[in-house]
Structure 1
Amino acid sequence: MRTGRISRDTTETKILVEVNLDGTGQYDVETGIGFLDHMVEQFSKHSLIDVTMKVDGDLHVDQHHTTEDSALALGQAITQALGDKGGIQRYGHAYSPMDETLARVALDISGRPHFEWRAKFTQEKLGEWDTELIEHWFQSISQTAGITLHCEVLYGTNNHHICEALYKGFARAMRAAVEVDPRKGGAVPSTKGQLGG
């Protein structure tokens, strides 16, 4: 089993994240931000990556540290679980429709973080979660998981649908990218013989 476990303890957040890339989409998520919980649960369910995420953050200040650090830790756990990335598909993409909204997510587990964002929200909050932090969550996981990540909303009007379509698209793209291809015989999917650097 390809698993990762990250424990972070700072003055801003205390976090435990565990992942199993070969899971069935089981999750146990408690961040203190209801809508963020819902999105991480969607990620787990649709990527088939088991995720445990427990966050005790300084929500009395604001939601920034909890949002950012949860994504950083999840990315670190995924990187740990991937090891040398031998045999993985590496690339993934998905179109994700949700009612009137259509999102497109494409990614490369390249070891070279790069992030492109083409999405907008027309309200300040979803539940109690600040919508400006959604882009930052994706940027943060791209950074520590070493992902080239492109997120785009092609069209849509409902802010809940826009956010959920992005998370589900990310999940489906990650599911494809972390899958092991038996034809590769465990080889790292790069002519350099390694990913990143």
Structure 2
Amino acid sequence: MEHRIATCTRTTKETDITMTINLDGQGKNNIDTGIAFFDHMLNGFARHGLFDLDVKAVGDVEVDCHHTIEDVGIVLGETIAKALGDKAGIKRYGNFILPMDETLALCAIDLSGRPYLNYDVTFTTDHIGGMDTEMVREFFYAVSYSAAMNLHIKLLDGMNNHHIAEAVFKAFGKALDMATMGEPRMKDVWSTKGSL
């Protein structure tokens, strides 16, 4: 449970990403993906999860936002998994229902080692700022599979698209914070199999 800090990089013909996360941080972050609304969402995730997060992403945003957002999701999942190590002593499960004005979003996580995304969020617009709303699902799909986590995200209520996206990212931060917390009564991995 000590020094749960990790750095990962990913370089392709479409993106060049470097990311560092401290799971035991204070919500400090320095995020630059070239997509301002996406930076705002990652800031909410980090601040409400109390993760220190540095992200530098250069992508082909002149094409569209897809490659950058998807690849940042892949790297975030890899970085979370690397920082968690063998997952010994963590709570493993986390869930949070987050209200934001008229919006109510649910996020539940199992750091099981088995990737799965159950996503039920509907937007009424195609874009928020420079971010395609369909990329919210693609981002969380990438995170869930590269971190090997079971991730459920559901919109329970909401009308304002900005609030919906923001509530989802903040709920994810809160739920992940819970799942990665230490459980002092559990010294090994919380699984009957002995590994996650």
User: What is the deviation of 1:194?
Assistant: 0.2
State the secondary structure of the residue aligned to 2:185: helix
Secondary structure of 1:152's counterpart equals strand
Q: How does 1:31-46 map to 2 (within 5 A)?
A: 31-46=33-48
Provide the rounded CA distance (Å) in 1 between the counterparts of 2:168 and 2:62: 28
Alignment root-mean-square deviation, CA: 0.6
Q: Corresponding residue for 1:190?
A: 191
Q: Out of 145, 167, 170, which is 2:169 matched to?
A: 167
Contact 2:65 2:130 in 1 (8 A): no
1:1-197 residue pairs with structure 2 within 5 A? Answer: 1-185=3-187, 187-195=188-196
Q: Work out whether residues 36 and 129 of structure 2, in 8 Å CA contact, stay in contact via their aligned partners in 1.
A: yes
The unaligned stretches of length 5 or more in structure 2 are none
Alpha-carbon offset, residue 71 of structure 1: 0.7
The one-letter amino acid paired with 2:23 is L
- The 2-side partners of 1:5 and 1:74 are apart by 10
Unaligned runs of 5+ in 1: none
**Does the CA contact (< 8 Å) of 2:19 and 2:75 recur in 1?**
yes
| Aligned equivalents of 1:169, 1:107: Cα separation in 2 | 10
Other structure's SS at 1:183 match: coil
TM-score (norm 2): 0.98
Question: What's the TM-score once normalised by structure 1's chain length?
Answer: 0.97
Letter paired with 1:87: G
Q: SS at the partner of 1:184?
A: coil
Q: Distance in 2 between matches of 1:161 and 1:167?
A: 10
Shift of 1:67: 0.4
> What code does the residue aligned with 1:5 have?
T
Alpha-carbon shift at residue 60 of structure 1 (Å): 1.4
The size of the alignment, in residue pairs, is: 194
Partner Cα distance (2:17, 2:120) in 1:
29
Q: Where does structure 1 differ by over 6 angstroms across 4 or more consecutive aligned residues?
A: none
